[in-house]
Structure 1
Amino acid sequence: MGTEGERISMEAAGNPAGRGARSAININHYATKKSLAESMLDVALFMANAAQLKAVLEQGPSFTYYVTLITLISLSLALQVVIGILLIIIARRNLNDLSKQPRLDVMNNVATALVFVIVLINIFITAFGVQKTGLYPSRGPREVR
């Protein structure tokens, strides 16, 4: 049957005693799925920033925070491209190779830090606001009957 230590290590490895044989978690598969999910969120944020950029450009340079918003949105978009590239690189590497793990860990930490920076930038973008004008056609004064 084995010692208590062997049973605990078997359970930690994903092979609990008392149940049928179960394979351990495939770290590469997990990391790929995680990177894919992050990439999809990155694409959604990228599209939202592109829509905000369009709205700012439509308002024109007369908008009070025009240059500020153009700069912040452009920086956010650029950082999102960098994160996308990092996530692709991370997803394509073999996490089971012990020699690559420290570098992949650094890359993952950099991607996480950049996501945090993008969140902060987008908070400022929201604070400065993008107001769309002319959404509803102007109606004259209502007639009183």
Structure 2
Amino acid sequence: MNANRYATKKTVAQGMLDIALLTSNASQLRYLLKVGDAHEYYEPMLALIISSIVLQVLNGLFQLIMGPLNLNKDEWRTTLNVVNYLSTISAAAIALIDVIKSAFSPTGIYAL
């Protein structure tokens, strides 16, 4: 099994999921700005959406850094590990923010 090929495929797949999530966040931001202060949780939702978008952009940069580097070369291995850990942490933070954000959304589970 070629670890570099696996890492490249994983990076591409994660990038596609990131684009879908970024599109969803942009749509939510557009809706929130359209509704404005009439939304019950305007400020928290705005902060959560913006922080999610910022983390997604950072995660995309991490993915772009990891993409062309070769895992089999010793001089890149430490750098790739650090960037991969940062990418994993940012992905976990994005997921946590989106879970919290769903609690404030009008179509969320807690909006009954």
Provide TM-score, normalisation by structure 1. Answer: 0.70
Q: Structure 1: which 5+ runs fail to align?
A: 1-24, 132-145
Q: CA offset at residue 106 of structure 1?
A: 1.1
**Percent of counterpart pairs with the same letter?**
38
Q: Structure 2: which 5+ runs fail to align?
A: 108-112
Q: Deviations over 1:53-84 (max 9, x none)?
A: 11111111122211111111000001000000
Q: Could you say what the CA RMSD is over the residues aligned between the two structures, in angstroms?
A: 1.1
Q: Deviations over 1:86-114 (max 9, x none)?
A: 00110110111112111111110110011
Contact in 2 for aligned 1:56/1:130 (Cα 8 Å): no
Specify which of 35, 38, 56 is matched with residue 14 of structure 2. Answer: 38
Distance in 2 of aligned mates of 1:130 and 1:42: 23
Distance in 2 of aligned mates of 1:74 and 1:50: 9
Specify which of 85, 88, 94 is matched with residue 64 of structure 2. Answer: 88
Q: CA offset at residue 28 of structure 1?
A: 2.2
Question: Which residue does 2:96 correspond to in 1?
Answer: 120
- State the AA in 2 paired with 1:112: T
Distance in 1 of aligned mates of 2:57 and 2:106: 23
Specify which of 15, 21, 24 is matched with residue 48 of structure 1. Answer: 24
Distance in 1 of aligned mates of 2:106 and 2:76: 44
Report the structure number with the largest CA radius of gyration: 1
- State the AA in 1 paired with 2:86: V
